Structure formats: structure tokens, C-alpha cells
Amino acid sequence: MEDFPSDAIRNFSIIAHIDHGKSTLADRLVEGFLTGTIAKLRKGEQQTLDKLKVERERGITGQYSSNSLFKSKYASFGYLFEGTLKAQTASMFHSYMNKCYMLNLIDTPGHVDFSWEVARSLAACQGALLLVDATQGVQAQTLSVFHVAKEKGLVIVPILNKIDLPAAQPELMAAQMQSTFGVNPSDILHISAKTGKGVEKVLEAIIRRIPPPVSALARNDKRLKAFLFDSSYDKYRGVISLVSIQSGVMQRGDRIQSIATSKRYEVTDLGVMYPEEVPTISLREGQVGWMVCSMKDSAHVGDTLHRVGETVEPMPGFKPTKAMVYAGIFPVDSNDFVKLEESIKRLTLTDRSVTVSRESSTALGQGCRLGFLGTLHMDVFRQRLEDEYNANVIITAPTVPYKVVYGDREVYVSNPTNFPDVTDTSNKVKEVQEPVVKASIIVPEEFLGEMMDLLFAHRAGETDYRYLDDSGASSSRILLTSVMPLSEIVTDFFDKLKSRSSGFASFDYEDAGYKASNLAKMVFLINNKPVDALALIVHRSTEHAVGRAWVKKLHRVIPRQLFEVPIQAAIGKKIVARETLSAMRADVTAGLYGGHHERKLKHLENQKESKRRMKKIGSVDLPQEAFFDILSSKS
């Protein structure tokens, strides 16, 4: 590693949207015919940086699963996106003008739910490849990550991919990139990552345009300073940390200390990702690699590490992750709670953006309340629990954190069970605020009307739009911006967006704070008894529609009882929807042959009276299968 000083190192990432070719380009860069890192991928082999099973199954990086069920389901939900779930790193070595360079590709997720992963990855980079599909043009998520990269001062290398396709329009898309990103068309590289055409120029641009890491040797600073930008967990070795060495040298046996926690560790192993773990003797200034130091608890991502006995200035950390979506996770078998809690703890070691707290439910028993960055983040976490830890879980309906303003304090509520009854004046609730986001939609001009209708149906406001292309373009595309409640996005918004735009719309959003809203807690009563696990927070304008939909859903899944069961949706003391589950009835007159008619009536009246008594004292226990059907069904 001493052969690669700071000026021979380039740290970069790739910015791209859904299926724009990020993973394909990464494969071309690390293949043997370019950099000698790995042998050329065989046809049909999984992509290099897709290490999680869920990444490969769901086609999260553009190489779609062979399982058609996954493809059809998640493509329709708008859940396929470019980039991995976890930020991955691969080191490559390339000779240019008789000098060998070390190129560190620090991969970034592209989906809005994983924006925290993006921020962490870009913090360890000095440049980024801005990859745009020559057939599709600029998309919403590309635009979002581009602005994050510019804020961090990264050098942008613009690239047009898929120029070999018949539908490619490189001149039009280059003009679009110029108007959107302000790049010079002459600086845009034209490549085909699939065939390898022009990829050699990408390596040259990485070396020539992207600056090396800032050297600390000029300041004669030899103190060890390492920036921890990601971590994963191995059951045999503990926490494996990805670090960027800012100054000094890290070697095996070094005693290091965390600035965030003041804990001390001994470096037991280190190396580079080539693209798998390859041990080295040391990691030096400007280099990116992995490190094991017998850390058994979670690493503090964004932390600065230094050698024991030395003092260094800490690196600017990250803002703490702010959960945008909350859901309760309960084991199907209540006896499995201890195992589930341990599995969640282990999984959060590899995903520090998940917040965890215990909660209990009278209907579902003991469980955990988890906070996620988005609904896809939640769904992926659930699947990783099932894949990696064989967990069998029930997830409650996702909710967002609301702000309840009282006269003297503000309270954040993420669990609908704890939401106050705003219809009760004794609670002294001044107002309720809900989180809102600034949404960006890029869509062809012919779908503008459909998108406007969709936004208004989801309580969007402050809507504006502008053309991305010149007015003379044959197929103009529009950037729609709007402010809308986050709760409207975590339901079926993605589904409707893709459906109404025939799959052509791209969507991204960013936090826009809180806004006052007319909200209330909806509870569901089964035989006049509330079920806490099914509580919802709804906008008053949709209370009747939501109430009717849910009571019909409950009516379908609740097993019939020996007595009549009313199913009601209530807000405060007002019933907004009701369905009645009819009783199972035995033919009590079947054994009566002949006799007077009053004899049969007497038996029927006795049966009615018995069912009245059962209804008063009877309880309806919802089986776990019913909860699973209710909470997993979208209809």
C-alpha cells in the first residue's frame, strides 16, 4: 500500500437513476480487461456489488431477478431502483501514462429511502460519475443526488450511457444535461457500459478530472485520523468498519480510540475491498479500506478514529438519521419475541438508520417499534429478517411521526395508539401538525394532467412545473414540484404514479418540515371493544372512505362467531363506518317433527336469548393469520 501515495488515489462514486446502467458500468470498470481486478463476469452472473440476497432477488441494481413474481410485483410498485441497499466499496488498480493509480469506487444507493447511505458514501469521495441514460434522460433521483454531491464540493464527470441503443438521443439528452446540471456538452462522455464502448475514457476521466484526496503531508501531519463511513456485522469477527484514512498510517496492532464514544480498540485486521476483502499490512493517507478491531457493539457512523495518545480534530459528522416511517414488528408466535429482538439487534448493526424501541399490544403481544427512512426501507428490512434470520413476523400499518402541540409543550407521536383524541376538548390540544415533503416528479408532457390530478387527490399544494427540454423538442419532459404530506406517500402513491404515467414518471422527495393539519385518530371496535394494533391517524376529509374500506377488510378476514359481531370504525365518539358479521346459527328446530307452531317459536326465542347473552359477555379473539391478512392486504 505504500506504493500508492495520496496523489495516486482517486475516490469516486456513481450517480444514476433506475436502470440507467450504474451496476453495469461498475462491472465494466472492475473487469479484468480494464483494471485487472476480477475476471470478466460470465454471462448471467450476478453483478459485483450486489452482495445482499434481497438486492439480487428484487432487481434493485438493474439486474432483475429471474423470479417473475418479484419482477412484476415490485416493478409495478415503482420499487426497482439503481444502486445497492448498502453502500459497497471496490478498489481497483489502473495504469495510466506509466503510473499506477488506485481507484476506489464507493457505491451509493439511488433510491430516496436510502439518502442517508448516499450522504455517508459521498463524504468519502472527491468526485462522482453522473450517469444518464441516452434513451430516458434526466430523472428525479439523479437530480436529487446531484445536488447532494455539489453541496459536498465533489467534481462531477457527466456521462451518457446506452448510446448504442436505437432509441438513443445523445444530442437531445446532452442539451438536457446542460440545461439541468449546467455542464458543458463537450465534457460529456458517450459510452455503452453493456458493450464496453468508451469505458476506457471513463477511467481516464476519473484520473484526470477527479482530484486526489487532500494531502496532510504538506502540513507535516503524521497523526492517524480515520473517517468511519460505514459498517457491517460478521458473527465471527464482530463489526467490520469501512474507513477513509485522512492522515497517517493504520496498521495491525495499533491502539485506536473513537472520538464519539471514547472507547479504545486494537486493530486486529485490515485491508482493501478488491472487490472482496483482501488483507493488507497497512492503510495509508487517502486510501479507503476495511478494518476489524474486535468491536462487538454497533459502530458510530460518521465517527473519527485516532491513535491512542494522540489528539485530532474530528471530521464533520452526519446529521442523525430521522425516521420518516414507523411500524410495529411482532412475531407470529409470541414465544419467538426474544429471538426476534436479537435478530433485529444484529441486523441494525449493518443498518444504523433504523431506530428500535420495545412496545406491547394487547392483540399482538410483545414486539418492537421500528423507525425507517421510507416504506421500501421497511419492506427490505422485513425481507432481510426473513431471509437472514428465518423470522416470521407481522408488521403493522406504516405511520409517520406527528407533532401534537399543547399550550405548554410539543409532543411527537409515532404510534397511533398514543395519539390523543382531538375531539375531546379536555385534552387541550392546540393543533396537530404532520410532516410534509417537497416532492419532485419528472414526467413526459402528455401525462401532466394525470399527474396534477394525482397530486390534488393526495392533498398536495404549492404545485409548480417547468420544462426540462427546449420547447421545440419532439417529446418535452416536465419537472413538477409540490409540497405534500408524507403520510400520503407511504400508502399507495408510488403504485398510482407508475400506473397513471405508464411507468414513465420518476419521483423523489426531501423533508420540508411540519404543517398544521386536520387529523384525528381512528379506532376499530370489534364487538364494541377497541383493537389497539389497528388504530390509524387519518385526515378528516377522508375519514368515511378510509373507515368503510377497513371495516370491509375486517369483515372479510374475521372468522364468524356464534353471535352477531358489529365491526365499527370510530373517531372519538362518532361511528363513521360499520359492518355486521352475522352469527353462525344451528337449526334448533331440526329435531321437531309435528307439534304446534308455538313449540318451534319457543326454541327459536331461547336461541335468540342465548346469543344476546353471548354477545354481551363474548370476546372476539383475532387470530394472528387474520392480522397478517389485514396488514399485508392493500385492497
Where residue 73 falls among pLDDT bands split at 50, 70, 90? very low
Q: Which helix (H) or strand (E) holds 600?
A: helix 597-617
**What pLDDT is recorded for position 424?**
75
Sign of CA dihedral 207, 213, 219, 225: negative
Q: For residue 365, say whether it is annotated as part of any ligand binding site.
A: no
Section 491-497 average pLDDT: 77
Q: For residue 109, say whether it is annotated as part of any ligand binding site.
A: yes
Q: For residue 164, say whether it is annotated as part of any ligand binding site.
A: yes
With CA atoms as reference, report the closest residue to 107 among 208, 24, 31, 33: 24
Beta bridge partners of 203: none
Dist. CA 133–CA 33, nearest whole Å: 24
Q: For residue 269, say whether it is annotated as part of any ligand binding site.
A: no
Q: Give the dihedral of Cα atoms 169, 172, 177, 182; nearest 10 deg.
A: 150
Q: For residue 496, say whether it is annotated as part of any ligand binding site.
A: no
End-to-end CA distance of the chain: 57
- Per-residue pLDDT of 297-319, as tens digits, reads 666 777 788 888 888 887 765 55
Q: For residue 555, say whether it is annotated as part of any ligand binding site.
A: no
Strands 519-526, 529-530: pairing kind: antiparallel
- The phi, psi pair for 185, rounded to 5°, reads -55, -30
Per the model's pLDDT, the better-predicted residue between 41 and 620 turns out to be 620
Question: Would 6-209 and 220-307 be classified into the same CATH topology?
Answer: no
Per the model's pLDDT, the better-predicted residue between 275 and 504 turns out to be 504
Largest Cα separation within the chain, whole Å, is 111
Q: How far is CA 570 from CA 429, 536, 538, in A?
A: 19, 10, 11
How many alpha carbons lie under 13 Å from residue 101 in its C-beta half-sphere?
26
In whole numbers, what is the pLDDT of the chain averaged over residues?
Answer: 76
Own/partner contacts of 209-212, CB < 8 Å, gap of 24 or more, are: 209/127, 209/155, 209/157, 210/10, 210/11, 210/12, 210/126, 210/127, 210/155, 210/157, 211/126, 211/127, 211/155, 212/6, 212/7, 212/8, 212/9, 212/10, 212/126, 212/286
Kindly tell me if the per-residue pLDDT of 246 is higher than 80: yes
**What pLDDT is recorded for position 445?**
84
With CA atoms as reference, report the closest residue to 61 among 42, 48, 76, 78: 48
Where residue 48 falls among pLDDT bands split at 50, 70, 90? very low
Q: For residue 591, say whether it is annotated as part of any ligand binding site.
A: no
* Residue 197 DSSP code: B
Q: For residue 544, say whether it is annotated as part of any ligand binding site.
A: no
**What pLDDT is recorded for position 100?**
86
Residue position matching grid coordinates 475476471 = 39
Section 68-85 average pLDDT: 31
Q: Where are the domains of the chain?
A: 6-209, 220-307, 325-398, 417-516, 520-632
- What pTM did the predictor assign? 0.64
Q: For residue 107, say whether it is annotated as part of any ligand binding site.
A: yes
Dist. CA 235–CA 21, nearest whole Å: 33
Looking at domain 220-307, which CATH architecture does it have?
Beta Barrel (2.40)
Kindly tell me if the per-residue pLDDT of 474 is higher than 70: no
Section 556-580 average pLDDT: 84
Dist. CA 208–CA 297, nearest whole Å: 41
**What pLDDT is recorded for position 623?**
62
- Per-residue pLDDT of 78-111, as tens digits, reads 332 333 334 467 778 888 888 888 888 876 654 5
Q: What percent of the chain has pLDDT over 90?
A: 1
Peptide bond into 275 cis (omega under 30): yes
* Residue 37 DSSP code: S
**What pLDDT is recorded for position 198?**
85
Task: Answer yes or no: CATH 3.30.70.2570 is held by domain 520-632.
Answer: yes
Kindly tell me if the per-residue pLDDT of 497 is higher than 60: yes
Per the model's pLDDT, the better-predicted residue between 624 and 192 turns out to be 192
Dist. CA 37–CA 92, nearest whole Å: 6
What kind of fold does domain 325-398 have according to CATH?
A: Alpha-Beta Plaits (3.30.70)
**What pLDDT is recorded for position 71?**
30
Kindly tell me if the per-residue pLDDT of 449 is higher than 50: yes
| Residues 512/462, Cβ–Cβ less than 8 Å | no
Kindly tell me if the per-residue pLDDT of 447 is higher than 80: yes
With CA atoms as reference, report the closest residue to 4 among 280, 275, 306, 227: 280
Q: How far is CA 434 from CA 400, 401, 492, 563, in A?
A: 8, 7, 18, 41
Kindly tell me if the per-residue pLDDT of 632 is higher than 60: no
**What pLDDT is recorded for position 275?**
67
Kindly tell me if the per-residue pLDDT of 156 is higher than 50: yes
Q: Which helix (H) or strand (E) holds 429?
A: strand 429-444
Where residue 62 falls among pLDDT bands split at 50, 70, 90? very low
Q: What percent of the chain has pLDDT over 70?
A: 77
Kindly tell me if the per-residue pLDDT of 428 is higher than 70: yes
Per the model's pLDDT, the better-predicted residue between 622 and 155 turns out to be 155
**What pLDDT is recorded for position 177?**
85
Looking at domain 417-516, which CATH architecture does it have?
2-Layer Sandwich (3.30)
Q: For residue 403, say whether it is annotated as part of any ligand binding site.
A: no
**What pLDDT is recorded for position 591?**
64
Q: For residue 19, say whether it is annotated as part of any ligand binding site.
A: yes
Q: For residue 20, say whether it is annotated as part of any ligand binding site.
A: yes
| Residues 70/380, Cβ–Cβ less than 8 Å | no
Q: For residue 108, say whether it is annotated as part of any ligand binding site.
A: yes
Residue position matching grid coordinates 407533532 = 403
Helix axes 115-123, 140-151, angle to 10 degrees: 40
| Residues 344/356, Cβ–Cβ less than 8 Å | yes
CB 90: neighbour CB atoms within 10 A? Answer: 23
**What pLDDT is recorded for position 617?**
57
What kind of fold does domain 6-209 have according to CATH?
A: Rossmann fold (3.40.50)
Dist. CA 430–CA 408, nearest whole Å: 10
Dist. CA 523–CA 572, nearest whole Å: 8
Dist. CA 142–CA 161, nearest whole Å: 14
